[in-house]
Amino acid sequence: MSGVKKSTSAKIRLRGLLNQPDNRTCADCGAPDPKWASANIGVFLCLKCCGVHRSLGTHISKVLSVALDEWSDEEIDAMIEVGGNSSANSIYEAYIPEGYTKPGPNASNDERRKFIKSKYELQEFLKASLRITSGKDSSSSSTQSNISGKILDTILTNSTQKEGMVEFIGLLKVKVVKGTNLAVRDMMTSDPYVVLTLGKQTVQSTVISSNLNPVWNEELMLSVPSNYGPVKLDIFRFRLAWLGVDWVLVFQVLGCSNSFYQVYDHDTFSADDIMGEAEIDIQPLITSATSYGNPEMFGNMQIGKWLKSHDNALMEDSVVNIIDGKVKQDVPLKLQNVECGELHLELEWLPLDQ
């Protein structure tokens, strides 16, 4: 039973990512309702574009079905780390020439093949300094590695980072700790997940089923631009609209043994219910961290504070501390525009040279 629960949890996490607005259309042609994904690139695809991705080889794109294939936790983690179609396209399509037209849902196979090969294999729309090469030598496991992950790592470790015209000054690690007394959005409970937005970036936690006091203890990462604003937080109830067959039972005969699999058939999604929102002012954290420089030179101490007021969501003053050589901040939030609910976060500032 533990294997079934693990598989079900993985499917829910993947479905949560697919449910994001930017992932409801194909990353390459914009066709609606994609049911395939490139696990190592981190994008969702329609059936037609999926066929072109397969032709590139797994050293470029490893294609899996969202519903029918078995996904590893590492593959799902990689998809979530990339952040979905918008995040991936902001990298892979950053330098599309002016006047160039992407293929649409009704494009020919030749048009798709030319665009997809240029986008992922030749990396023609990528900043030249971020291009990576991966040979087809099957003896090397590194050719199966996460291509988008490598590009993101490059972006986040350069001392003067730029993505398009955006310059990044550091990383913000957000640990979503737990929720308390969240709003009911079902008959008796809710299936909450947290979405964080900073600029054009959006990251999402996993879905916790049937729990008004969920414990995530999940770390999400955001890159911080030089002209940063507040981090916007939304918490939703995950909701599915069921159409057709609710369960698909798949039997696979291997020799003398029978393997039984249960596959969810989630054909259509409805809009998720809002369960509260808040804004997080990250200026006290960043100002305190940059004022002290290398935190490893100091012992544990308080270096800053974000004060509770009538116009923010804090439940109490939020203190910035140096703890074991790291700049961290506890953030207890009262969710806004909702009847009840609290959320506890932990922030950590990571300078680019760390």
Beta bridge partners of 345: 176, 331
State yes or no: pLDDT of 192 exceeds 60: yes
Q: What are the two backbone dihedrals, phi and then psi, of residue 199, each rounded to the nearest 5 degrees?
A: 65, -125
pTM: 0.51
Q: What CA–CA distance (Å, rounded) separates 252 from 53?
A: 27
Strands 161-163 and 231-237: unpaired
Q: What CA–CA distance (Å, rounded) separates 103 from 117?
A: 12
Residues of CATH 1.10.220.150 domain(s) within the chain? 5-121
DSSP state of 129: G
Q: What is the CATH number of domain 168-240+271-351?
A: 2.60.40.150
Report the CATH fold assignment for 5-121: Annexin V; domain 1 (1.10.220)
pLDDT attached to residue 37: 93
Q: What is the mean pLDDT of residues 317-325?
A: 94
The per-residue pLDDT for range 104-144, each reduced to its tens digit, is 999 999 999 999 999 998 888 886 555 554 444 433 333 33
Residues of CATH 2.60.40.150 domain(s) within the chain? 168-240+271-351
CA dist list (Å): 316 to 288, 308, 340: 19, 5, 16
Q: What percent of the chain has pLDDT over 70?
A: 75
The gap between the terminal CA atoms of the chain, to the nearest Å, is 42
Number of neighbouring beta carbons within 10 Å of residue 89: 18
pLDDT-derived band at 38, boundaries 50, 70, 90: very high
State yes or no: pLDDT of 29 exceeds 90: yes
